[in-house]
Amino acid sequence: MSRPINTTRLIRTYNASTVLQTLYRQGSCSRTQLAKWTGMSPATITRIVAELMEQGIILEGQAGKSTGGRKPIYLHIDHTKLYIASLKLLRDDCRAALLDLKGKILQKRELHLDTQTPEEFFTEAVGVLREMFAQAGIGTQNIIGVGVAVSGICDAQEGKVIKSVNLGWEEVPVADILSRQLELPVFIENDANACALAELWLGTAQDAANSLYLKTEEGAGAGIISNKALLSSSRFMSGEIGHVPLIPHGHPCRCGQRGCLEPYVYFGDVQARYAVRTGQRIDRDQFVALVQAKEPQALELVEETASVLALACSHWGILLDLDVITIGGFWGTFKEAVIDRCQRYYETTAKQSGIPCHATITGSSFANEDADLLGAAGLVIDRWFAPLSVPFHR
């Protein structure tokens, strides 16, 4: 997208990407439908389809009904020919996975960051990925890319981590390190942005033009989708909402301020407040059990977090005129206590303000531990199948 499309090679790349994107979204369609939906000429569609069929990426399926001439032959992507590798890099949870184009995780492995340098860590990660490829009987020619979701500030265009406090990394050229060893295209993004793309392509926001993924796992962050595209900025700070104070005189935050979103959604902080109130230190499963048993202190803490999330959803939802807000992570699993509370507050705020807008607030489509892996896969899918994408820019 950063280069002018002014050569035959790039035009063909753009056309092929557009055809694949249309097939990916529609599931299957005829050549005539492809021409109609993409705006390309029938001759261009015929050429692009022939090239993709020659590579085994597109297959012909069943014939449709005739409208007076030949029966149309429906085309579809061969999902057994294309796969995605993904990495998620969080403070206490690093994993690698192999997925198909539908987001099904075929294999998954843990990685250990420990005290390794980034180069040492990625050498181990490459070894794990190669083992998974071999066990699945998949060659690198069938891997369309490697997605990397990182807890930190990332320059997606340059493929590097600018700064990750959680990982202790600065100016790490992730894409260069990985692509040099794997000889595959590598795409990197902040974890919240990656999860927003996963929901756009595979989850709750597939039918939404404008959506937001609110990450509530190790901290707080947001990935924003505007008109089906990830919203980014020149300083790579879009969605960095964890340390913007929302509650006057609220709980202290590790950043030095009070009332930020992070101390209300980071479970470690909630866990610490429960211990102060009760003298007991509990883990997540115990906390969920206490909430289900309607233990007063646990319910009070959930209510506190839900109130802040409701405020955040209404502020950003109305500001951005969102269609869908997805609350990911731990707090997105509380349907009645958190999701429904946020929905009611949003609707009340919009109604009383006289603003004719509506957003559906929901939990994530994915299991907690898989969200970032699917986010990394969503990043690759987006770079391949989004309109106007030029997949191999590096």
Question: Beta-carbon neighbour count of residue 223 at 10 Å?
Answer: 29
* Domain of residue 47, residue span: 8-77
Answer whether residue 189 shows pLDDT above 70.
Answer: yes
Answer whether residue 371 shows pLDDT above 90.
Answer: no
The answer to whether residues 223 and 359 belong to one domain is yes
The model's pLDDT over 285-318, given as tens digits with 9 standing for 90+, comes to: 999 999 999 999 999 999 999 999 999 999 999 9
pLDDT more than 70, % of the chain: 93
The answer to whether residues 125 and 140 belong to one domain is yes
Across the range 24-29, mean pLDDT stands at 84
The answer to whether residues 186 and 319 belong to one domain is no
Highest mean pLDDT among 54-63, 91-100, 331-340: 331-340
Could you tell me if residue 299 is inside a domain?
Answer: yes
Report the range of poorest mean pLDDT among 35-44, 69-78, 127-136, 243-252: 69-78
Answer whether residue 79 shows pLDDT above 50.
Answer: yes
What pLDDT does residue 384 have?
A: 79
The answer to whether residues 135 and 268 belong to one domain is no
CA–CA gap between residue 310 and residue 312 (Å, rounded):
5
Could you tell me if residue 255 is inside a domain?
Answer: yes
Q: Which of 36, 58, 77 corresponds to the end of one domain?
A: 77
Q: What is the pTM of this model?
A: 0.82
The answer to whether residues 350 and 381 belong to one domain is no
What pLDDT does residue 69 have?
A: 63
In degrees, rounded to 5, the angle at the alpha carbon of residue 83 between the alpha carbons of residues 78 and 89 is: 155
What pLDDT does residue 278 have?
A: 94
Q: Are 257 and 245 in contact (CB under 8 A)?
A: yes
Could you tell me if residue 393 is inside a domain?
Answer: no
Could you tell me if residue 95 is inside a domain?
Answer: yes
Across the range 24-48, mean pLDDT stands at 89
The answer to whether residues 281 and 380 belong to one domain is no
The whole-chain average pLDDT of the chain stands at 86
The answer to whether residues 73 and 90 belong to one domain is no
pLDDT more than 90, % of the chain: 47
The answer to whether residues 58 and 181 belong to one domain is no
Could you tell me if residue 3 is inside a domain?
Answer: no
The answer to whether residues 57 and 188 belong to one domain is no
The answer to whether residues 253 and 285 belong to one domain is yes
- CATH number, domain with residue 381: 3.30.420.40
What pLDDT does residue 81 have?
A: 78
Query: How many angstroms separate the Cα of 376 from the Cα of each of 3, 40, 95, 171?
Result: 24, 31, 11, 20
Number of domains in the chain: 3
The answer to whether residues 53 and 109 belong to one domain is no
What pLDDT does residue 125 have?
A: 93
The model's pLDDT over 242-270, given as tens digits with 9 standing for 90+, comes to: 888 889 999 998 888 999 999 999 988 99
What pLDDT does residue 11 have?
A: 47
The model's pLDDT over 194-251, given as tens digits with 9 standing for 90+, comes to: 999 999 988 889 889 999 999 887 778 889 999 888 888 777 778 778 888 889 999 9
3-class secondary structure per residue, the chain: CCCCCCCHHHHHHHHHHHHHHHHHHHCCECHHHHHHHHCCCHHHHHHHHHHHHHCCCEEEEEECCCCCCCCCEEEEECCCCCEEEEEEECCCCEEEEEEECCCCEEEEEEECCCCCCHHHHHHHHHHHHHHHHHHHCCCHHHEEEEEEEECCEEECCCCEEEEECCCCEEEECHHHHHHHHHCCCEEEEEHHHHHHHHHHHHCCCCCCCCEEEEECCCCCEEEEEECCEECCCCCCCCCCCCCCCCCCCCCECCCCCECCCHHHHCHHHHHHHHHHHHCCCCCHHHHHHHHHCCCHHHHHHHHHHHHHHHHHHHHHHHHHCCCEEEECCHHHHCHHHHHHHHHHHHHHHHHHHCCCCCCEEEECCCCHHHHHHHHHHHHHHHHHHCCCCCCCCC
Higher local confidence (pLDDT), 264 or 10 = 264
Could you tell me if residue 390 is inside a domain?
Answer: no
- CATH number, domain with residue 42: 1.10.10.10
Across the range 105-117, mean pLDDT stands at 87
The answer to whether residues 208 and 349 belong to one domain is yes
CA–CA gap between residue 76 and residue 210 (Å, rounded):
27
Q: Which of 77, 103, 122 corresponds to the end of one domain?
A: 77
Could you tell me if residue 40 is inside a domain?
Answer: yes
What pLDDT does residue 68 have?
A: 61
The model's pLDDT over 312-329, given as tens digits with 9 standing for 90+, comes to: 999 999 999 999 999 998
Could you tell me if residue 394 is inside a domain?
Answer: no
